[in-house]
């Protein structure tokens, strides 16, 4: 017993010494709890329910507020909310799960198997139900949750690590989670989160996290410059000024894909020839340059960084203005509306996404050269979502943020965005042919434009910031760097 205690004490001392050496080299003490961070969101969230989350901001908030049964580590699903690895039946059609006992929801009550089952049933009925089409039924037996499958699916753990499968508990008019942060307030301009002190995996270092929605990229950069926020997706300053505090950068290679979508208002835009004309009219290399660092022209539906073997479109010519002009003449012979040299066409844009501004200007210039005069409609996030759901637009700038950075799940999401739900179900189960992705573009009425990464500028006084493979930031391990003198001052207060 004494020997074991001595070993434990020695391990503790060595750990402290290592931490002290790591941070002491920079004049700072090891991580401490407290403080808050003010950071931007990429757009305005419309829902805080993980089963409905589709927008980048919504998916970011899901990872902060909710937990999933599995998490990805090294690209493989690992049990997270589970006490042990799931048990599988001999026919591989039944998976048995036993939940951890120390998981508490944000109101301090234990998470039950009934609540997990109800949450997964809601996910099956939601807009991401194509991910869970393989599930035949969910029921409880002797304290364990049983998932019965339609056919063997070794990827079930991967599917149950998606944000759509996050466990959400409706209670008292709110939707509660078990994640590292809990939402206490939100408005059209910001969302306020506080640390979940009883999180089973350990509470976050930060006491609070405030996420702001900016209407302009310059406002977001200026907020970091003057020290009002600690992070920006659009630079560290405006007009060449210097930020109030030193900054660092974090490159996030994969974030979202932007598409130009054709709606139901004008029949000629639904024509395959018209979509081919639009595709070759747009200078994607130029679009990528104006969009900023780490943005790449899109030759395919799924970012090649998600699908490393995706070289099937390499060398494909994306921009051909002469071909676009020929296709325009062909269309003019078939559709009387296109006989005029210039035709007015509307472009629907979500005004809560400041990053899209520069792209819109380039699209206006490119399509004007083939006789399409874009009338930009910048509408609120909610009206934008309603009109996109009805396809009530001529053209629209759509975005797709994948549930996971996994090629089949990412492609399934794009197919679902294009209303090809049967194909989405096949891809979610890894039963689709990736080589046919290019052939689906015309049928989807979606023209891929750019794959967007982002360079994150953040306050150098903050440490522990990292990005998940899907491009979403993790704030659970973020903390303020403090010297010994700063910590003494904080204690006196």
Give residue limits of the domains in the chain. Answer: 28-34+179-246+460-492, 67-176, 254-453
Nearest of 281, 280, 266, 274 to residue 394 by alpha carbon:
266
Give the mean pLDDT of 13-21. 45
Place 62 in a pLDDT band, splitting at 50, 70 and 90.
very high
Which CATH number applies to 254-453? 3.10.105.10
Query: What is the C-alpha separation between 468 and 269, in angstroms, rounded?
Result: 38
- pLDDT score recorded for residue 471: 83
N-term to C-term CA, the chain: 42
Rounded CA gap, 71 and 61, in Å? 16
Tell whether the model's pLDDT for residue 152 goes beyond 90: yes
| Mean pLDDT, residues 302-317 taken together | 57
pLDDT band at 438 (very low <50, low <70, confident <90, very high): very low
Q: What is the pTM of this model?
A: 0.88
Percentage of the chain lying above the pLDDT 90 cut: 66
Q: What pLDDT is attached to residue 385? A: 95
Strands 144-149 and 169-171: unpaired
**Of 414, 404, 421, whose CA–CA distance to 446 is shortest?**
414
Give 346-384 pLDDT, tens digit per residue: 999 999 998 888 899 999 999 999 999 999 999 999 999
| 446 closest CA partner among 396, 410, 407 | 396
Task: Please give the CATH topology (third level) of the domain spanning 28-34+179-246+460-492.
Answer: D-Maltodextrin-Binding Protein; domain 2 (3.40.190)
Residue 336 has pLDDT above 60, yes or no: yes
CB 209 within 8 A of CB 180: no
Residue 9 has pLDDT above 50, yes or no: no
Whole-angstrom distance, CA of residue 184 vs CA of residue 169: 16
Identify the weakest region by mean pLDDT among 17-21, 73-77, 193-197, 246-250.
17-21
Q: What is the pLDDT of residues 210-233, one digit of tens each?
A: 999 998 999 999 999 999 999 999
**Predicted pLDDT at 436:** 57
CA distance 182 to 94: 33
pLDDT in tens, 269-282: 988 899 899 999 99
Task: Name the least confident of 12-16, 342-346, 393-397.
Answer: 12-16
pLDDT at residue 432 in the model: 82
- Please tell me the distance from the alpha carbon of residue 119 to that of residue 172, in angstroms, as a whole number: 16
Q: How many Å apart are CA 203 and CA 18, to the nearest integer?
A: 22
Instruction: From residue 79, give the alpha-carbon distance in Å to each of 235, 316, 467.
Output: 38, 42, 21
Return the pLDDT at 6: 47
Cα-based distances in Å from 28 to 32, 57, 304, 481 = 11, 33, 40, 6
pLDDT of residue 316: 59
- Please give the average per-residue pLDDT across 403-411, as a whole number: 90
Task: Average the pLDDT over 234-247 and give the result.
Answer: 89
Average pLDDT, the chain: 87
Which pLDDT tens digit goes with each residue over 175-198? 999 999 999 999 989 999 999 999
Task: Please write the tens of the pLDDT for every residue from 451-463.
Answer: 988 899 999 999 9
Render the burial of 213-240: b for 16+ CB within 10 Å, e for the rest: bbeebbbbbbbbbeeebbbbbbbbbbee
Q: Taking 70 as the threshold, does the pLDDT of residue 68 lie above it?
A: yes
**Domain over 67-176 is classified CATH 3.90.76.10:** yes
pLDDT at residue 236 tops 80: yes
Helix, strand, coil % in the chain, rounded to nearest 5 = 35, 25, 40
Backbone angles phi, psi at 320, to 5 degrees: -150, 90
pLDDT at 2: 41
Q: What is the pLDDT of residue 23?
A: 52
pLDDT tens-digit map of 88-138: 999 999 999 999 999 999 999 999 999 999 999 999 999 999 999 999 999
Give the pLDDT score at 326.
94
Same fold, 28-34+179-246+460-492 and 254-453: no
Percent of the chain having pLDDT more than 70?
Answer: 87
């Amino acid at each position: 017993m004494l020997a074991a205690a001595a070993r434990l004490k020695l391990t503790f001392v060595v750990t402290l010494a290592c931490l002290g050496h790591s941070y002491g080299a920079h004049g700072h003490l090891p991580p401490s709890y407290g403080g808050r961070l003010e950071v931007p969101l990429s757009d305005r969230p419309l829902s805080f329910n993980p089963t409905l989350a589709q927008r980048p901001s919504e998916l970011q908030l899901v990872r902060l507020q909710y937990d999933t049964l599995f998490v990805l580590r090294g690209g493989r699903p690992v049990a997270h909310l589970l006490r042990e690895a799931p048990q599988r039946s001999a026919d591989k059609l039944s998976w048995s799960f036993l939940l951890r006992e120390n998981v508490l929801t944000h109101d301090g009550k234990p998470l039950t198997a009934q609540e997990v089952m109800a949450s997964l049933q809601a996910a099956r009925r939601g807009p991401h139900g194509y991910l869970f089409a393989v599930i035949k039924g969910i029921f409880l037996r002797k304290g364990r949750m049983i998932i019965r499958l339609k056919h063997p699916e070794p990827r079930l753990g991967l599917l149950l690590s998606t944000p759509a499968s996050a466990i959400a508990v409706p209670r008292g008019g709110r939707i509660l989670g078990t994640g590292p942060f809990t939402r206490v307030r939100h408005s059209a301009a910001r969302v306020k989160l506080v640390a979940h002190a009883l999180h089973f995996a350990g509470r976050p270092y930060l006491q609070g996290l405030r996420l702001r929605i900016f209407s302009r990229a310059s406002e977001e950069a200026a907020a970091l410059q003057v020290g009002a926020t600690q992070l920006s997706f659009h630079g560290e300053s405006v007009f060449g000024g210097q930020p109030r505090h030193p900054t660092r950068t974090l490159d996030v290679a994969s974030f979202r894909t932007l598409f130009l979508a054709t709606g139901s208002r004008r029949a000629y835009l639904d024509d395959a020839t018209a979509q081919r004309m639009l595709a070759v009219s747009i200078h994607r290399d130029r679009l990528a340059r104006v969009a900023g660092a780490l943005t790449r022209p899109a030759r395919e539906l799924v970012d090649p960084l998600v699908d490393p073997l995706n070289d099937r479109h390499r060398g494909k010519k994306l921009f051909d203005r002469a071909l676009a002009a020929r296709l325009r003449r062909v269309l003019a012979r078939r559709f009387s509306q296109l006989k005029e040299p210039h035709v007015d066409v509307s472009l629907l844009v979500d005004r809560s996404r400041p990053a899209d501004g520069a792209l819109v200007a380039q699209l206006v210039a490119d399509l004007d050269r083939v006789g399409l005069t874009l009338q930009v409609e910048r509408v609120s996030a909610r009206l934008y979502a309603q009109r996109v759901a009805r396809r009530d637009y001529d053209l629209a700038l759509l975005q797709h943020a994948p549930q996971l950075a996994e090629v089949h799940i990412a492609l399934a999401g794009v197919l679902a965005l294009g209303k090809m739900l049967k194909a989405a179900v096949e891809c979610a189960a890894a039963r689709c042919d990736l080589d046919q992705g290019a052939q689906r573009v015309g049928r989807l009425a979606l023209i891929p434009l750019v794959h967007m990464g982002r360079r994150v500028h953040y306050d150098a006084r903050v440490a522990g910031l990292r990005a998940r493979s899907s491009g979403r930031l993790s704030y659970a391990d973020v903390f303020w760097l403090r010297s010994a003198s700063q910590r003494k001052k904080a204690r006196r207060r």
